[in-house]
Amino acid sequence: MNGDPVPAHTKVWDLAALLRSAKGPQVRLELAAPDGTTIQRRVARSEAYHREAEKRYPLSRDLRVGVRLAVSLLTCLALIACAALLYLRRPRDPVALLFSFSFLLFAATIDPPMVLWLALGWDDLFDVPLALA
């Protein structure tokens, strides 16, 4: 970026901070593909990008993410409640027990628990309910 190297495994939010802190009206980016080819781009600094991104959606990003998380959390709670009710109603039925277990596995892989698994750094442990579901 502007002639300075950026480490290959830079996180997106760190790259965004570097782009915001770059000097001048334009930022020169040189991107290297895995095959070794490079692409050079010049990006003009402008608030128009932010305004254009906000214009595309009638709802704000925070509201969209909040609605998505609320719906998926409600789905998790419904799956857990169904698993508990199914087990309580038919405790000796092996098919009901398998359904109850599968409901719990699905609840463990929906968005809020998935974000929790990844935030805790338990990516490998998250693969277990995914593989079982």
Model pLDDT, residue 53 = 65
Model pLDDT, residue 103 = 92
2 in Cβ contact with 20 (< 8 Å): no
| Distance, CA of 12 to CA of 14 (rounded, Å) | 5
112 in Cβ contact with 69 (< 8 Å): yes
What would you report as the CA-atom Rg of the chain, rounded to the nearest whole angstrom? 23
Across-strand partners of 41? 29
What average pLDDT does the structure give for the chain? Answer: 82
- Domain locations in the chain as residue ranges: 12-53, 59-132
Residues of the chain with pLDDT > 70, as a percent, come to 92
Each residue of 68-114: pLDDT tens digit?
889 988 998 999 999 999 999 998 999 999 999 889 888 888 888 88
Model pLDDT, residue 8 = 72
